[in-house]
Each structure stands twice: as structure tokens, then as C-alpha cells.
Chains A and B, each alone.
Chain A
Amino acid sequence: MKIMTCPLNGPRPVSEFHYWGEVRPMPDPATASDDTWADYVFNRNGAPGLKKEWWCHTPSNTWFIAERDTEKDVVLKTYFYEGDQ
């Protein structure tokens, strides 16, 4: 992957983007048990696959979601976050 498509700015070199990990639902910190919270804070889905990830186009500070195959390094689509679906 050398080019990534920002939903606001269109195709840009990947060096302009910042990767922020997989989209993961956060448990409610007020009610979650210590184990659930530790699992959320530390554990990751480390195996390869098709993942929904947070990315940011840094020059314009545009945050968005990319769906990416983490084994082939191919981005399938990018779009703005619209709440948890």
C-alpha cells in the first residue's frame, strides 16, 4: 500500500496517514470488572484478517475508518465513522 484514500482529501501518499489500531467497542468503565477492563486495555486481535481500523490523515487531522486486509496490505474501503453499527 502506497496510496490511501482519505474520505475528505482523496488519494494521498500513505506517509501522510497515522494508524490508530482496530475499531473496538469500549466496555463501560464504571461497571466493567477488572478482568474485562484488562482485556480491553491490553489484549488485541493480533491474527491477520480483514479489519476495521482507525486512521488519521495528519495534515488535515481527519479521522476515519479503513477496512484493510492486514495480510495482503490492501485497503478495501475508507469512510467516516458514523457511530457504532
Chain B
Amino acid sequence: MPWRLLRFALNKKHPEPRMFTFHEKLKPSYDVVIIGGGGHGLSAAYYLAREHGITNVCVLEKGYIGGGNTGRNTTIIRSNYLTPEGVQFYDESVRLWQDLSEDFDLNLFYANRGHFTLAHTDSALRTMRWRAEVNKHYGVASEVVGPEVVKEAAPMIDITCAGHSPILGALYHAPGSVARHDAVAWGYGRGADQRGVEIHQQTEVLGIDVEGGKVKGVRTSKGYISTGKVLCAVAGSTPRILKMVDVKSPIYIHPLQAMVSEPVKPWLDPILVSGSLHVYISQSARGELVMGASLDPYELHGTRSTLDFVEGLTSHMLEMFPFLSNVKVMRQWAGMADMTPDFAPVMGKTPVDGFYLDSGWGTWGFKATPVCGKTMAHTIATDTAHPLITGFSLDRFRNYALTGEKGAASVGH
């Protein structure tokens, strides 16, 4: 290293710039308190500051930024959903994703790969035709293709799946993409921080004060904050926070697991999902195979991972790609998925004045990170649900008016 460079490095006048400002203490009050420093909470903070000029905001995170489901997901981004509400909402998210790296001046490694949902049965093909028609109606690229198109896009695939679940066709969605998940959290966090939002890590919310049906303040492990507006964006911890404000919901928690293989040479460009075999796979920029399966079979509020999961997933994966039998599994992990009965999220206002909810993100919320922040910021700033999220309100259950999105879930649950 040249001597002058070393002198520069040791000079206190040029410290390494940090991504975020460290705040010693909480202020006694904020205009908005955001619970959860995952992608959703940080994105809401960013758009509150950038689009609504509301900067007296703090984000409280009990662990570290992006340490929840934001840093645990398999990063699949797509908009080929089933309901009109879902398609329009996720389509707006995909548009936001496409400009995000420039917006943040941070490379999110957003990679447009194309996404195939494989059909092994006639009934699966039928749902795919339905999805393709709804998608096309809203201008989202989506079409049903034959097995030869799948084979051409992924030549290593055994199109008969070991002879017992032949692939009959697929729903092809050209905009399907992957991105670096932790970078998304940091990008939104840095952008919010630069605009005056305070991010407090290692700060846990322990209680919420409600008086006369209105939010008054938040009790945290670092002291009390008074505020009139709270956003709850805590994914797998949502039922715990709802208990603090005494709001009932249908949200239930099951773990969702994933794993990666050792890195191998690039051989798989598209993202492949098989509902019938309960597996999905993509190859990361580093060459690792990123793989997931369906939800764990019972309620659990923890992030342990299991051998059952690896055994089940690999046996199905080998039916699709027999040559992977020589590839080693490198890591596995789990996140707590906040599931809903209709596979649509729960967003917007609640029976408690000033308490806003961004939840029910289950196994599908990473792709929605940008649009959730944007629509929740609007909802908080104007105290009116953004038009894109009215189909996702908590009220829909009381009114028996569900938003049935299960047919677009990535793998059978």
C-alpha cells in the first residue's frame, strides 16, 4: 500500500462513512413510530420522509436491521397473482423495484430472470390459464407455455420428474426477478436516515398505550415515547404486537424454511417453482442454488430448522434435477411467516385510531417491500387507506369479503 494512502486511512479527518447515524437516545416524542426495522418498516419510513415530508419519525428494531424475514427470504419478485387487487398492487411494486438501485445509489443486484410456475396436473394448468388472463387484462406479461419451452429455458430438467409427475406446461412470467435482500433494507434505511428519520436498533417495543381508542405512546426497552401514530411492520411478531393493542386478527405463525447449496457454475437462469412438488429454485449471482419448500406443518414462534425439511426438499428437487445429487447443501434456516386464511396481506387502518398495520406477509412479502412502504406512508400521512390496499383491510374478515389469493401462492401450503 502506498504510504500516502495509509496516512489518509489513519487520518481521523476522513473516517469511513457509516450507512446510518447512531443515535444515543430516543427523543421523548415522535410524529410517527415504526415498529420493525425490516424492509417494510424502513421503506415506509423512507416514503414518509421523501414523499410526505414527515421526518420526525423513528424506526424501532429489537435486533438488527433486516434480521427478520427480510434477510431470510429467497428474494423472488413477481406480479403474476390471481386477484385484480393483487395483480395491480404487485405490478406497482415491480415497477418501483426496477428503479430502486438508482434511487438509492446502491446496487441491489436486481436481476430479471423470468419465472416459471410448473404444472404437473390438468387442474394446475387450469388455474394458470385463469391467472394468465387476469394478468394480461392488467397489462402484466404472463402466458401459459408448453413443456418444450421449459426444457429450452432449463435444459438440465427431467421433464417427466422421475417418470411420475410429468410437466404438462407452465405459467411463464417474464418480469420474474431476484434481488439482494439485505441491500434493500440498507438502501431504504440509509435513504430514510439521510432525510432525518432515526433508526434505533436493539430497541424492543414492550407495550403500546391506548386511551379512548387512540394511540398515546409506546413503551420500549430504552424508555417511553409519546406519539399519536404507530405503524406495526413486524411480520412474524404481528400477533404479539396486536395483543398489546387488543386487536383480534386471523394471522397465525408457521415457520418457513429455505436452504442454499455450495456455489456451482451458472447453469440455471430462470426461477422455477413447482406447486405439486412443493419446491422452488433459483441460482444466485454467486452460483449458490437458493431453494425453498412449503410451510412447516404446525404453529411455532421460533426459527429452528429441521432435517425433515432438507430431506423432503432434496428428494423432490432430485426428481426435477437428478444431476444435483452430487451437490452439497451449505446452509439452511427459517423465518416466522405471518399467514392469513386467504393468502392476501392485512394492511391499513385498524379499530385503534393511529395504529396502522402492515402484516399478513407470510411467505410472499419481500416482493411487496417497495409498494408497502409507499402505500403505508400515504395511509399514515393522510389517515386514509391508499386506493391500492383497500382490498387488504382487516375488516374484510368481519364482512366475509376475502381476497382469495391462494391460487397464486408459490408452492402448495
Contacts and interface: CB of A to CB of B under 8 A. Distances in A.
A46 B252 contact: yes
Contacts of A35: 398
Contact of B239 (A46, A53, A72, A73): A46
B251 A44 contact: yes
B268 to A, nearest CB: 30
Contact of B308 (A15, A38, A44, A45): A15
B336 to A, nearest CB: 10
Contacts of A70: 299-301
A18 B300 contact: no
Contacts of A47: 239-240, 242-243
B251 to A, nearest CB: 5
Given A43-B397, A46-B239, A71 B249 contact: no
Interface size range on A against B? 20 to 34
B400 A71 contact: no
Contacts of B239: 45-48
Interface string A34-72: 110011001111111001010000000000000000111
Interface string B295-332: 00111111010001000000000000000000000000
Contact of B302 (A15, A53, A71): A71
A81 interface: no
Interface in B217-267: 238-240, 242-243, 248-253
Contacts of A53: 299
B207 interface: no
B341 interface: yes
A18 B304 CA distance: 19
A19 interface: yes
Contacts of B240: 47-48
Nearest to A19: B298
A19 B251 contact: no
Nearest to B300: A73
Interface of A: 15, 18-19, 21, 34-35, 38-39, 42-48, 51, 53, 70-73
Interface of B: 238-240, 242-243, 248-253, 297-302, 304, 308, 341, 397-400
Given A21-B299, A39-B248, A48-B253, 17 more contacts: A19-B298, A35-B398, A38-B399, A38-B400, A39-B398, A42-B250, A43-B249, A43-B397, A44-B249, A44-B251, A46-B238, A46-B250, A46-B251, A47-B239, A71-B300, A71-B301, A71-B302
